[in-house]
Amino acid sequence: MAMALFSPTFSFRISTSAPQRRRRRCFVQSSQATVAIEAPSSSTTDLLLQVKDLSAVIAESKQTILKGVNLTVRHGEVHAVMGKNGSGKSTFAKVLAGHPDYEVTGGSIMYKGLDLLEMEPEERAIAGLFMSFQSPVEIPGVSNIDFLNMAYNARRRKLGLPELGPIEFYGYVAPKLELVNMKTDFLNRNVNEGFSGGEKKRNEILQLAVLGAEFAILDEIDSGLDVDALQDVAKAVNGVLTSKNSVLMITHYLRLLEFIKPTYIHIMENGRIVKTGDISLAETLEREGYKAIS
């Protein structure tokens, strides 16, 4: 009998049998040409994520959302995805994380040399992929420290490392609270239960810091934050960035990108990435809106 926990940031399963793979549907490519605009290529040795011609539909309604997304991410890069509401940004993020509400109908995603589409959500998380959702769910009855300890030990098992007991883990996680400007009693609170918007976002980045994920997907972490909370969250994100991990941020606003400097900015429209550039793209959007890009 299997027990599964799916949360916006981590999915964990204990099972006595091998996980059942999702079947990938065959597809007929649209007659409309796919727009492929990528960051400049370099050596493949530092390649972390490569998305090619990714198409996806809503699983229940079969409505097509992604229509040929192309993206290359290398170690140490920060990518920002911007676009109008309904352009496919959040769907793209959820497809990367393996959310069951979406079905991939074409294309490929390679992550650290592995076929991401053949991996269950919890396998992706254990392999170092992390996602922060716009509205993190509450998990009543599960404390932050227990949740983090379980998730952290799942990654350590995957890496062939010994698990940490409660006392050892507390010694590991407590210093990371300073990174997100939170007190130690925060660890005893139930996951996101009764949290303010800023506390939820800080909690997401705490999870990222604890897990040490190689690839973090941050879906509108600036949403609903005042300036002080935004600065705290941005400082925490910058604190976990290294030359070995990468971040994909979804945002509508230039203000986040002034705190977390992007390597590339991508504009998404109608289910595709249609333009890639630097911070000047976001500055243009701030002044003139999307009419200047379309």
CATH value at residue 40: 3.40.50.300
pLDDT of residue 38 exceeding 50, the answer is no
How much is the pTM?
A: 0.81
Range with the poorest average pLDDT among 12-26, 112-126, 234-248, 250-264 = 12-26
* CA nearest to 168, candidates 188, 190, 155, 152: 152
Instruction: Please check whether residue 2 lies inside any domain of the structure.
Output: no
Residue with tokens 């999870």: 207
Instruction: Please check whether residue 125 lies inside any domain of the structure.
Output: yes
> What's the domain count of the chain?
1
CB atoms within 10 A of CB 222: 21
Q: Specify the higher pLDDT residue, 81 or 31.
A: 81
Give the pLDDT of residue 17: 38
Instruction: Please check whether residue 155 lies inside any domain of the structure.
Output: yes
Q: Are strands 47-58 and 11-14 parallel, antiparallel or unpaired?
A: unpaired
Range with the poorest average pLDDT among 79-83, 84-88, 124-128, 223-227 = 223-227
Give the pLDDT of residue 74: 96
Give the pLDDT of residue 45: 58
Share of the chain above pLDDT 90, in %: 53
Taking the C-alpha atoms of residue 210 and residue 189, their distance in angstroms, rounded to an integer, is: 17
Per-residue pLDDT reduced to its tens digit, 168-196: 999 999 888 888 888 888 899 998 888 88
Give the pLDDT of residue 107: 97
Region 33-58: mean pLDDT is 69
Region 23-41: mean pLDDT is 36
Taking the C-alpha atoms of residue 290 and residue 294, their distance in angstroms, rounded to an integer, is: 6
Tokens of 260: 């977390």
pLDDT band at 42; cut points 50, 70, 90 = very low
Q: Could you tell me which residues come within 8 angstroms of residue 48 by beta carbon, excluding any fewer than 6 positions away?
A: 73, 74, 75, 77, 111, 112, 214, 215, 246
Host domain of residue 157: 10-292
Per-residue pLDDT reduced to its tens digit, 116-138: 999 999 899 989 999 987 778 88
* CA nearest to 255, candidates 225, 214, 275: 225
Taking the C-alpha atoms of residue 56 and residue 141, their distance in angstroms, rounded to an integer, is: 35
Give the pLDDT of residue 195: 84
Taking the C-alpha atoms of residue 228 and residue 138, their distance in angstroms, rounded to an integer, is: 24
Burial (CB < 10 A; 0-12, 13-18, 19+), residue 275, is middle
Instruction: Please check whether residue 113 lies inside any domain of the structure.
Output: yes
Range with the poorest average pLDDT among 23-27, 197-201, 240-244 = 23-27
Instruction: Please check whether residue 56 lies inside any domain of the structure.
Output: yes
Give the pLDDT of residue 236: 87
Region 132-151: mean pLDDT is 87
Instruction: Please check whether residue 5 lies inside any domain of the structure.
Output: no
Per-residue pLDDT reduced to its tens digit, 245-293: 999 999 998 999 999 999 999 999 999 999 999 999 999 999 998 888 7
Phi, psi angle pair for 77, to nearest 5°: -100, 150
DSSP 239: H
pLDDT of residue 21 exceeding 90, the answer is no
Tokens of 46: 């530092």
Region 15-40: mean pLDDT is 37
Instruction: Please check whether residue 3 lies inside any domain of the structure.
Output: no
Taking the C-alpha atoms of residue 167 and residue 178, their distance in angstroms, rounded to an integer, is: 19
Instruction: Please check whether residue 1 lies inside any domain of the structure.
Output: no
